Chain A
Amino acid sequence: MSALLLDLVDQAVVVCDASGLPSWCNVQAERLFPQLRIGEPLHGPLSRAMAEGADCFETVSDGRRLSGRRVVLQGHGTPVGHCVWLVRDDSEVHERQNELMAERARSAFLAEAGKQLAASLHHGRTVRAVVRVAVPALADTAILFLPVRGRCVAWHLYGPDERAGQLPAAALDQAPPVAHALRGLVEQPVLCDWQEVARLGGALPQDPNPPGQALVVTLPGPGMPAGVLVLAHGPQHTGFGAADVELARQFAARASIALAAATFYAEQVHTAAVLQDGLEPDPLPHVAGVHLGAAYRPARETLWLGGDFYQVRADAEGGVRFFFGDVCGKGVEAAVFAGRVRQSLRSLALVESRPVRMLQLLNEALLEGGPTPFTTLVTGSADSARDGALDVVVAGGGHLPPLVLRKDGRVDEVHIGGTLVGAVPDPDFHQTEIRLAAGELLLLYSDGVTEARGGPTEQEMYGERRLMRDLAACLGMPAGAVAERIDLRTGQWLAGGDHDDLAVLAVQAPALAPSADVEQPR
């Protein structure tokens, strides 16, 4: 009965007598140790363990992973010196463990790969990430072929070294697995001889130890493949198993999403850059006899576009003509409308030089274009006068009064008045003349400057009073530095807080006397 029961146990049970010879065993033992004979000397792991006097062992025997322990029988009825070996076959458990570990490693790799592939939206960097992440987890060498563009195929290799280049699309025919995959003719990963890929010739490195097998994996894309990844192992490697192929396929799926996002982003960026080109302020001209400075800081937009705009152009008589405005709203919509205003102003400047008349024409043009936001605007000109002075004419509609920094440190407001441009059909525009003596400066600014919220309470507006005080402290500074300084003071006031579009433009009659001689307030 007990012998029958022991046959049900899933371990091998071998009873040995005092001389170390087996005296009984169960069915499991016969299966694990086919050479075992009752009464005859032990073989294999049991005999080794007995010889070493060990109480337990772990070993691999005939491809099985065995662990055994010896129990010395004590108690009434048991002959002295008898012992029992209990041996377990762990092969399956171990194999399952290995599989689990491998699966975990694959999941971890895919998770890490996903992170690295998603990091950049730049196409070139994403291409680089694809081949770099693939090595060494998937292969010793990885080459990514990109879709045909302009009869060329760009490739990027990472392995013992890193290289990139282009080859003529026609050359692909020498490597049918790659050519087919790139045309979207094969969905599944394809194993082929490395030589087939190596036929692409000069483009690829001539490895002194050519890999044997290559795995060609299509990167699925919208419509056509986003690329083809060729993986290869060095000669010492066994090649690609089913699990490797599946892992490569899953990696390729992630890589293609990253590449598609980068391609899409590049197209968007290109579109944005083309539009942006006409919307950013032009650099200030260099004009003898007029010092200029500007600062431009759109509301926290990644595109660096806003509704504040300005432009300064040198005119034929040696002076400058300028405009400065702030369209209502912010972001891309405001920037596009600002672009329209700027374009109209440029055209109008060709036919009309009287500032007030120009504003009236602009008002008409904007209203004719249908319902639009409106804009504040100051247009003007600055022309050299005697003694290094500048004669400035400013006309405006609805803009904040410009400030003038006089050479005695006083700051005056220039009241122009007028209605917003593009708001009503019968607008009221005015113009004013100012003379800037040598060293004096006219500052135009948008409401984003004075309405910047921050300071000690983080809620207070920077305000006109502080702007005037900070401008007064700029006495003796060149226009460029004044614009920078106002930008800096506003930025310090904001202390990292959100803000509206900010712009300032400074027009200055250059100082004659060394500015260091001027009395400086703090």
Chain B
Amino acid sequence: MTAERFDAIESVRTAFDDHLARADETAAVALVLDLLARGVSAEDVLLDLIAPAQAAVGERWVTNEWSVAQEHAATHVSNRAVSALAAATVAPDHPLGSVVVACPDGEWHTLPAHIVAEVLRLRGFAVRFLGAGVPTAHLISYLHQNGSDLIALSCMLAVRLPRMYRTIEACRLARVPVLVGGAGFGPDGVWARALGADLYARTAVDAAELLVEQWPPPLTGAPALDHLADGEYAQLVSRRGDLLRHLVDHLRRCFPPMRRCADDRYEAAVEDLGFLVDFLAAGVFVDDPRVFTDFLVFLADVLAPRGIPPAGLDLVVRALCEPLSDLPRTLTHLAAGRGRLARAGHTWTDA
């Protein structure tokens, strides 16, 4: 990046953060368009201004500095800024190929995918961004209608991997190559290969460079999920309701913050517990305990600033061992979870 461009972006960084904090859509859009008018490239605005600002937004939510509503409002404004940039830049006359970018069913974090879509467009591809929570049937019908050369799917949370797999399978059946990206695929995209994706890219720029280099994209992905034959994943999914009831009963007896929480908080807590069971199942799905352990660490970081002792997670994981004692592979994930919590100093001791 040249010093000039760097200065242009640096000079507005605080103002942009401020617009996000106040959810001021109009000001945020005006700011990015002004940068564009001053000669800063759209890609630099996307990657050096909007993306880092949004990362900070997520951080503020984790530390409880911002409410969910504030986080959501800020994300909405960032999305609008990306759309405004897209509208202000010209699509290529002779595109390198046609790409569909989507967040499949259950994935609601649109911004990273939106940025990838715009970077690919700026790098010469004809791109259609389908947005958040696109049902697989709708996605496949789009592919048949438009004959796209590649589908790019984003997954920000590993808990979505099983549903992501079904989407990837559907694309493979339609013989459309799949590029995936997002934190949900794990460190260096290890779980992307397990799910049978043809290509994985860590960043938007990586994605663009990979596609330019490997165009037409290969159709070589093959899922590696033979371990599912043990049926443990299916068991976890079908027992979800029972497990949740068991956890709630257990926590009501043994975990003081759960006993005294109000109705609304209580429902949110049940939702979080459901999430935890889903992450466990997703880890068993891709056969990697890191899905579960990483989530526990993240959840501990979220709970602590909200006045809930993270050691409660250890209590939860321990409580899962008994009803799941007939699932040996799942037990190793639970054990790994407890080990990880212990290393972080979150061990539960019975009063």
Determine if B144 and A120 form an interchain contact, defined as CB atoms under 8 angstroms apart: yes
Q: Which of A15-23, A296-304, A422-430 contacts B (4 or more CB under 8 A)?
A: A296-304
| A458: chain B residues within 8 A (beta carbon) | 241
Contact across chains for B270 and A456 when beta carbons are under 8 A apart: yes
State whether the Cβ of B108 lies closer than 8 Å to any Cβ in chain A: yes
- Give the complex CA separation of A10 and B250 in angstroms: 83
A121-B144, A122-B146, A124-B147 as given contacts; A520 in contact with B67, CB under 8 Å: yes
Residue of A nearest to B133 (CB): A491
Of the stretches B51-59, B134-142, B182-190, the one at the interface is: B134-142
Q: Which residue of B is nearest A487, CB measured?
A: B133
Please measure, in the bound complex, the distance between the C-alpha atom of A121 and the C-alpha atom of B135, giving whole angstroms.
19
CA distance A301 to B140 in the complex (A): 12
Q: Which residues of B contact A469 (CB under 8 A)?
A: 264
- In the complex, the answer to whether B147 meets A476 with C-beta atoms within 8 Å is no
Within 8 Å CB of A131, what residues of B? none
Set A304, A457, A478: member contacting B76, Cβ < 8 A: A478
Chain A residues with CB under 8 Å of B69's CB are 473-477, 485, 520
Assess whether A57 is interfacial by the CB under 8 Å rule: no
Asked if B174 lies at the interface with its beta carbon under 8 angstroms from chain A, I say yes
Smallest CB–CB gap between B78 and chain A, Å? 11
Supposing A116-B175, A119-B175 touch, asked if A478 and B241 sit within 8 A by C-beta, the answer is no
Q: At the interface, yes or no: B49 with Cβ under 8 Å from chain A?
A: no
> Which of B18-26, B191-199, B202-210, B279-287 interfaces with chain A?
B18-26
* B77 at interface, CB cutoff 8 A: yes
Q: Cβ of B106 and Cβ of A481 under 8 Å apart?
A: no
- Determine the chain A residues whose CB is within 8 A of the CB of B137 once the complex forms: 300-302
Q: Is B48 an interface residue, CB under 8 A from the partner? A: no
User: In the assembled complex, which residues on chain A have CB atoms less than 8 Å from the CB atom of B22?
Assistant: 514-516
B241-263 contacts to A, CB under 8 A, are 241, 244
A-side contacts of B268, CB under 8 Å: 522
Chain B residue total in the interface (Cβ 8 A): 44
- Known A476-B73, A495-B106: A122·B144 in contact at CB below 8 Å: yes
Contact A476 B23 (CB under 8 A): yes
Are B241's CB and A119's CB within 8 A? no
Enumerate A494-522 residues with CB–CB distance to B below 8 Å.
495-496, 514-516, 520-522
Q: Give the contact-size bracket for chain A.
A: 35 or more
Which A residues, 120 to 156, have Cβ-Cβ distances below 8 Å to chain B?
A: 120-125, 129
Q: Is B68 on the interface with A (CB-CB < 8 A)? A: yes
Residues of B within 8 A of A495 (CB): 106
Q: Are the CB atoms of A491 and B25 closer together than 8 Å? A: no
Q: B112 CB to closest chain A CB, in angstroms?
A: 16
Report the minimal beta-carbon distance from A260 to chain B, rounded to whole angstroms.
15
Against B, the Cβ 8 Å flags (1 = close, 0 = not) of A107-121 are 000000000100111
CA distance A443 to B23 in the complex (A): 19
Complex-state Cα separation, A125 to B133, whole angstroms = 26
Q: Which residue of A lies closest to B175 (CB)?
A: A119
Contact of A125 among B25, B106, B147, B267 (CB under 8 A): B147
Bound: A22/B311 CA distance, A: 94
Contact B76 A477 (CB under 8 A): yes
1/0 per position for B98-118, CB-CB distance to A under 8 A?
000000011010000000000
Pick from B80, B175, B244 the residue with the most CB of A within 10 Å.
B175
| Contact A478 B77, CB 8 Å, known A120-B175, A491-B108, A515-B23 | yes
Q: A480 on the interface (CB 8 Å rule)?
A: yes
Considering the chains assembled together, what is the distance between the CA atoms of A411 and B74 in angstroms? 22
- CB < 8 Å: which of A273, A457, A484, A491 contacts B72? A484
Q: A276 CB to closest chain B CB, in angstroms?
A: 11
- Cβ contacts under 8 Å, A72 to chain B: none
The CA-CA distance from A488 to B72 in the complex, in Å, is: 10
- CB within 8 Å for A304 and B67 given contacts A477-B76, A478-B76: no
Distance to closest chain A CB from B94 (angstroms): 14
Closest to B135 in A: A300
Distance, CA A426 to CA B66, complexed state (A): 52
Smallest CB–CB gap between B63 and chain A, Å? Answer: 14
Closest residue of chain B to A288, judged by CB? B26
Q: How long is the Cα–Cα vector from A121 to B174 in the complex, in angstroms?
A: 8
Q: Which residues from chain B contact A475 at a C-beta distance below 8 Å?
A: 69
Is A349 close to B, CB under 8 A? no
Binary CB contact string for chain A from 392 to 425 against chain B (1 if under 8 A, 0 otherwise): 0000000000000000000000000000000000
Which of B23, B140, B163, B264 has a CB less than 8 Å from the CB of A477? B23
Whether the pair B73, A515 counts as a contact (CB closer than 8 A) is yes
* B173 adjacent to chain A (CB < 8 Å): yes
The CA of A202 and the CA of B214, in the complex, are separated in Å by 30
Q: Is A170 an interface residue (CB 8 A)?
A: no
Residues on A with C-beta less than 8 A from B70 are 476-477, 516, 520
Q: Chain A's nearest CB lies how many Å from the CB of B310?
A: 18
| Chain B 214-241: CB-based contact to A (< 8 A → 1; otherwise 0) | 0000000000000000000000000001
- A434 at interface by CB-CB < 8 Å: no
A405 to chain B, nearest CB (A): 11
Of residues B69, B163, B176, which shows the largest number of chain A Cβ atoms within 10 Å of its Cβ? B69
> CB-CB < 8 A to B106: which residues of A?
491, 495-496
Name which residue of chain B comes closest to A469, CB basis: B264
Query: How far apart sit A457 and B69, CA to CA, in the bound complex (Å)?
Result: 26
A202 to B268, CA, bound (A): 69
A515 to B67, CA, bound (A): 12
Q: Measured between alpha carbons, how far is A496 from B133 in the docked complex, in Å?
A: 10
Q: Contact check, B76 vs A481: say whether CB atoms are below 8 A apart.
A: yes
- Quick check: B23 and A478 within 8 Å, CB to CB? yes
Closest A residue to B163 by CB, please name it: A496
Question: Inside 8 A of A119's CB, which chain B residues have their CB?
Answer: 173-175
Bound together, the chains give a CA A480 to CA B135 distance in angstroms of 21
* A340 vs B268: C-alpha distance when bound (angstroms): 42
Give CA–CA (A480, B144) in the complex, Å.
31
Q: 6 smallest A-B Cβ distances: which pairs?
A: A122-B147, A481-B76, A119-B175, A121-B144, A302-B141, A520-B67
Task: Spell out B's residues near A (CB within 8 Å).
Answer: 21-25, 66-70, 72-73, 75-77, 80, 105-106, 108, 132-133, 135, 137-138, 140-141, 143-147, 163, 173-176, 241, 244, 264, 267-268, 270-271, 274
23 contacts between A and B (CB under 8 A): A119-B174, A120-B143, A120-B147, A120-B174, A269-B144, A300-B137, A301-B137, A302-B137, A469-B264, A473-B68, A475-B69, A477-B69, A477-B73, A478-B23, A478-B76, A480-B76, A481-B23, A481-B75, A485-B69, A491-B133, A514-B21, A515-B22, A521-B67
Q: Besides A297-B133, A481-B75, A492-B108, 5 other CB < 8 A contacts?
A: A119-B174, A122-B147, A456-B271, A477-B73, A521-B67
Chain A residues proximal to chain B, CB less than 8 Å:
116, 119-125, 129, 265, 269, 273, 297, 300-304, 456-458, 466, 469, 473-478, 480-481, 484-485, 487-488, 491-492, 495-496, 514-516, 520-522
